[in-house]
Amino acid sequence: MIANTLTLRVDRDGRWLRLAGDLNYATVDETLHAVRVAVAEADGPVVLDLSEVALLASMGIEMLLSLLRSDEAPEFVLFVNAVVLDVLTVTGVVSRFTVAKTAAEARELAGLN
């Protein structure tokens, strides 16, 4: 069942954005705005923690890709769970992102150690 809810929590001085729930048509606009604001205010690379995302729909993938296409593309690391990694892999976009499979790897890649 699709819940159409997503929560976003900002940690680690604004450099760790934890998303939990469904990243789909119903949640992507508000989420994109919140992520862009957080990334713009961050002092360094940001971790987009998708480890608690249950559903990554096409609109969620498009949101992630739009972050790469922005005029001032932010430096970010995707911390993913197996479901999100599978979706990014099957759709052929995983290689466009810096992906971490563990929190420790995400911290290291973003320079948060």
What does the H/E/C string look like for 44-63? CCEEEEEEEEEEECHHHHHH
34: Cα separation from own chain's centroid: 11
pLDDT, residue 77, reads: 94
Would 71 be classed as within a structural domain?
yes
| pTM as predicted | 0.90
Count: domains in the chain: 1
Would 1 be classed as within a structural domain?
no
Would 19 be classed as within a structural domain?
yes
Q: Tokens standing for 43?
A: 């002092």
Per-residue pLDDT of the chain (113 residues; tens, 9 = 90+): 456 788 888 886 789 999 999 999 999 998 998 888 888 888 888 999 999 999 999 999 999 999 888 766 668 899 999 999 999 999 999 999 999 999 999 999 999 97
Give yes or no for a contact between 109 and 80, defined as CB atoms under 8 angstroms apart: no
Would 30 be classed as within a structural domain?
yes
Q: State which residues form the domain around 30.
A: 6-110
Please report which residue ranges of the chain form alpha helices under DSSP H: 28-41, 58-69, 82-90, 103-110
- 35 three-state secondary structure: helix
Residues forming beta bridges with residue 100, ordered by sequence position: 79
pLDDT, residue 48, reads: 95
Amino acid found at 4:
N
pLDDT, residue 62, reads: 96
